[in-house]
């Protein structure tokens, strides 16, 4: 049986997975699927490399009540599918690497303990990222596992981009601007030389727009700055998160509304953003289909804030050669791309309406400077590549 690498991306109510066959230094995607609706309406689907459905099964909520129970089902299914063979390694997306981790790392007891310390910095993501690591350590003892961090790609930021205007002691404790979605940005940086070589070494803003959303300023393929900061709350408005927020608002909610930490956390992570603004939904597809005034407000606000932050990053870059849209909204919502680009027309952007509507790779007109591109991201492939690298280094050592 060909060696394989399993990639896991776990959230609060879902586990996305992919299996890659390892053929020399090449990775070939073999399986792709997810268990979603964990604890509510659990549903397991998987497809092979050609898109053929391999399994589609629903469960009672108590059968898949949490991420560990979902992992048990996934592990059993994989063992049956692979005829008892196990992957040679498992790679995981871990949102926060804190100040300690700036590259992917093999997980051991010390690493896992350190990553637990960063749960307060990413309470929506980190516990769920770590749950599959623990489950696999129990089921497959000795299995090499690699943590790949969404913060790592941004760790080369200069001091001015890295700091808040707070006392030095807090910075030394790790209170700094980390940036996130780094695996996505790393993939786009690697893809640009093939997709648009004329701008790959230039000044590029990548817009990772999904339920979580951020922008990254790339120069010669390296991250100079990002809209996200200490946590995944900062920057652009998101599905249920507010993005940049005057810290005085938090003080007001504590002092005058009597909110405690748990209430604030729920408001900022689950009750704000497009959901809070619209009063309709956190899903852009629902908002585009809605005639409610709040839906239009939320979409206009999202485009306004995205264009505003793009202007700031263009200043950081000293100009702009290209904008790249990626992730769920960026890849699939031409209306949102158009609304953002209209607000960026002062830079010389002219959109090709037909190309944008069909989701072409290049959606700007030939006379447009900067270029505007749509490039699907592939965080799972980046994780698989990093996992293979770390596993080979382990074997070589």
Q: What is the pLDDT of residues 341-377, one digit of tens each?
A: 999 999 999 999 999 999 999 999 999 999 999 999 9
Find the helix or strand (DSSP H, E) in which 218 lies.
strand 213-219
* Cα dihedral value 129, 132, 134, 137, nearest 10: -140
Element housing 209 (H / E): strand 203-209
Predicted TM-score (pTM) above 0.85: yes
**Which among 50, 150, 260, 321 is annotated as catalytic?**
150
Residues forming beta bridges with residue 92, ordered by sequence position:
8, 147
**Regions of the chain short of the pLDDT cut 50:** 397
Q: Where are the beta strands (DSSP E) in 49-87?
A: 53-58
CATH number attached to the domain at 4-149: 3.30.420.40
Q: Is 108 an active-site residue? A: no
Distance CA 105, CA 302 (A): 35
The percentage of the chain sitting over the pLDDT mark of 70, rounded to a whole number, equals 98
Q: Which CATH class is domain 198-379?
A: alpha beta
Question: Can you tell me the distance from the alpha carbon of 88 to that of 104, in angstroms, rounded to the nearest whole number?
Answer: 17
Same-fold call for 4-149 versus 198-379: yes
Residue 391 has what pLDDT?
Answer: 83
Residue 397, pLDDT score? 44
Crossing angle (nearest 10°) for helices 293-317 and 334-343: 50
pLDDT of residue 2: 78
Question: Residue 394's pLDDT is what?
Answer: 53
Q: CB burial class (10 A; 0-12, 13-18, 19+) of residue 194?
A: exposed
Q: What pLDDT, on the 0 to 100 scale, is given for residue 395? A: 55
Whether the CB-CB separation of 284 and 325 falls below 8 Å is answered with no
Q: Please report, for the chain, the start and end positions of each structural domain, with discontinuous segments joined by +.
A: 4-149, 198-379
pLDDT at residue 108, as a whole number? 95
């Amino acid at each position: 049986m060909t060696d394989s690498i399993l990639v896991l991306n776990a959230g609060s109510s879902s586990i996305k997975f992919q299996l890659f066959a390892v053929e020399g230094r090449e990775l070939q995607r073999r399986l792709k699927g997810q268990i979603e609706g964990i604890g509510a309406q659990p549903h397991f689907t998987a497809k092979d490399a050609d898109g053929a459905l391999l399994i589609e099964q629903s469960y009672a909520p108590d059968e898949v009540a949490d991420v560990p129970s979902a992992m048990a089902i996934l592990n059993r299914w994989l063992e049956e599918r692979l005829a008892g063979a196990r992957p040679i390694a498992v790679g995981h997306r871990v949102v926060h690497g804190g100040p300690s981790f700036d590259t992917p790392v093999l997980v051991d007891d010390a690493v896992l303990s350190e990553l637990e310390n960063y749960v307060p910095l990413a309470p929506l993501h980190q516990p769920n990222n770590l749950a599959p690591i623990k489950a696999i350590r129990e089921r497959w003892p000795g299995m090499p596992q690699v943590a790949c961090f969404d913060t790592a790609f941004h760790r080369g930021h200069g001091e001015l981009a890295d700091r808040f205007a707070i006392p030095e002691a807090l910075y030394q404790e790790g209170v700094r601007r980390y940036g996130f979605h780094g695996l996505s940005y790393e993939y786009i940086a690697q893809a640009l030389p093939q997709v648009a070589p004329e701008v790959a070494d230039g000044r590029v803003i990548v817009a990772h727009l999904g339920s979580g959303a951020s922008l990254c300023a790339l120069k010669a393929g390296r991250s100079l700055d990002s809209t996200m900061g200490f946590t995944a709350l900062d920057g652009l408005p998101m599905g249920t998160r507010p993005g940049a927020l005057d810290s005085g608002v938090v003080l007001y909610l504590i002092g005058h509304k009597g909110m405690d930490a748990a209430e604030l956390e729920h408001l900022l992570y689950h009750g704000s953003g497009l959901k809070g603004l619209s009063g309709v939904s956190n899903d852009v597809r629902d908002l585009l289909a809605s005639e409610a005034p709040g839906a239009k407000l939320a979409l206009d606000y999202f485009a306004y804030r995205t264009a505003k932050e793009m202007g700031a990053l263009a200043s950081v870059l000293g100009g702009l050669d290209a904008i790249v849209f990626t992730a769920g909204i960026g890849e699939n919502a031409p209306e949102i791309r158009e609304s953002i680009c209209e607000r960026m027309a002062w830079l010389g952007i002219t959109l090709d309406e037909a190309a944008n509507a069909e989701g072409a790779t290049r959606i700007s007109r030939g006379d447009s400077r900067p270029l505007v591109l749509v490039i699907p991201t592939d965080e799972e492939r980046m994780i698989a590549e990093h996992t293979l690298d770390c596993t080979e280094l382990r074997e070589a050592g």
